């Protein structure tokens, strides 16, 4: 099923920050941020057990508990099981994403993409989210950034475990759609080449942005379009560096990235364009992309995202980006 048929808009809310990503967020601020998303018309919410060892799901569940379930779309992820056992969050091996949720809950996180773990993960998420249904379930992070040279082994476990379970749950009507949620294009390209099982959509974080899109443009997005597999763009602001933050790829942005951002900002300023509008609208311009789900941890950021989606961006700005070599020549851009 195309998720475009039931997504309630092109702008969703990625709730990784509610898991205390980068900083400890008060419960009140987390609740106010979800309320701001709702008040700005956002009805698609994405979360994961991994975000703060269940903290994001718990906070999102509490914030949406009084909202009519049929009025919003909810996605979460499988691949990590959260235990009652305690561990040191700062000592977790997160591959390239070290220290990402060191302010989250100290519950032990176990990587497991098997069939049994997938079913347990879904059940646990339903409890934390205080709901009886999920719309989309993503298989989380079966990629190089978390598993290095072992990523193909993790992927194979997921292919014979999580993929098949989620396809069965979809076919039985328990969930509406499934796919992979990753920060790399290779696992998605591999999945598109499979005869079975067949995903409905992919959540691709950080790989179709103003700063990083050439690899996805070459093969993945055209192939996804051919296979009728929708793309949800996560991290359209490249972990925040395109929206005034200091992070790129969840770590401190290197000088080369800062320099590129400054060049984009300079052109945006010349054309009277907000950097958030440029980033968000670029990610959404490709015909394979169904939605974008920027994250936020402050209510004011949500209103900025909603405004960025509707901002008028002149065609001359996109032409200038192409001329300066800041976006690929063949990258689709919004029509004026």
Q: Is residue 77 annotated as a catalytic residue, yes or no?
A: yes
Candidates 27, 44, 46, 250; catalytic one: 46
Candidates 51, 113, 155, 208; catalytic one: 51
Give the span between the Cα atoms of 237 and 305, in whole angstroms. 11
Helices (H), the chain: 27-39, 55-64, 115-129, 144-147, 151-160, 162-171, 186-192, 214-215, 221-226, 255-270, 275-285, 299-310, 315-323
Q: Is residue 97 annotated as a catalytic residue, yes or no?
A: no
Candidates 4, 66, 77, 93; catalytic one: 77
Residue reference for tokens 């999920």 = 134
Contacts of 183 by beta carbon, 8 Å cutoff, 6+ apart: 141, 143, 145, 204, 205, 206, 207, 235, 249
Q: Is 79 left (phi over 0), alpha (psi -120 to 50) or beta?
A: left
Total count of residues recorded for the chain: 336
| Residues 151 and 159 sit within 8 Å (Cβ to Cβ) | no
Catalytic machinery residues: 46, 51, 77
């Amino acid at each position: 099923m195309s998720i475009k048929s039931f997504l309630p808009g092109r702008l969703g809310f990625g709730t990784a920050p509610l898991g205390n990503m980068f900083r400890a967020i008060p419960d009140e601020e987390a609740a106010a941020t979800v309320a701001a998303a709702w008040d700005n018309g956002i009805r698609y919410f994405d979360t994961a057990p991994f975000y703060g060892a269940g903290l994001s799901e718990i906070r999102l569940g509490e914030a949406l508990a009084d909202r009519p379930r049929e009025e919003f779309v909810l996605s979460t992820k499988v691949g990590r099981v959260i235990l009652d056992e305690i561990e040191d969050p700062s000592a977790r091996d997160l591959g390239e994403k070290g220290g990402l949720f060191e302010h989250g809950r100290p519950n032990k996180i176990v990587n497991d993409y098997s069939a049994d773990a997938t079913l347990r993960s879904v059940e646990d998420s339903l409890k934390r989210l205080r709901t009886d249904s999920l719309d989309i379930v993503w298989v989380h992070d079966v990629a190089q950034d978390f598993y290095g040279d072992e990523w193909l082994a993790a992927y194979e476990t997921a292919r014979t475990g999580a993929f098949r379970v989620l396809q069965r749950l979809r076919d039985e009507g328990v969930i509406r759609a499934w796919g992979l949620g990753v920060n790399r294009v290779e696992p998605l390209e591999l999945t598109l080449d499979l005869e079975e099982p067949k995903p409905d959509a992919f959540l691709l974080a950080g790989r179709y942005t103003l700063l990083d899109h050439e690899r996805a443009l070459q093969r993945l997005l055209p192939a996804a379009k051919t296979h009728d597999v929708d793309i949800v763009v996560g991290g359209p602001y490249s972990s925040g560096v395109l929206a005034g933050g200091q992070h790129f790829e969840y770590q401190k942005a290197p000088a080369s990235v800062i320099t590129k951002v400054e060049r984009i900002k300079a052109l945006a300023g010349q054309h009277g364009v907000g950097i958030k509008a440029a980033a968000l609208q670029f990610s959404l311009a490709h015909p394979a992309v169904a939605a974008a789900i920027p994250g936020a941890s402050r209510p004011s950021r949500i209103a900025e995202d909603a405004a960025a989606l509707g901002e008028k961006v002149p065609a001359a700005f996109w032409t200038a980006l192409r001329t300066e070599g800041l976006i690929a020549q063949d990258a689709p851009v919004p029509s004026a």
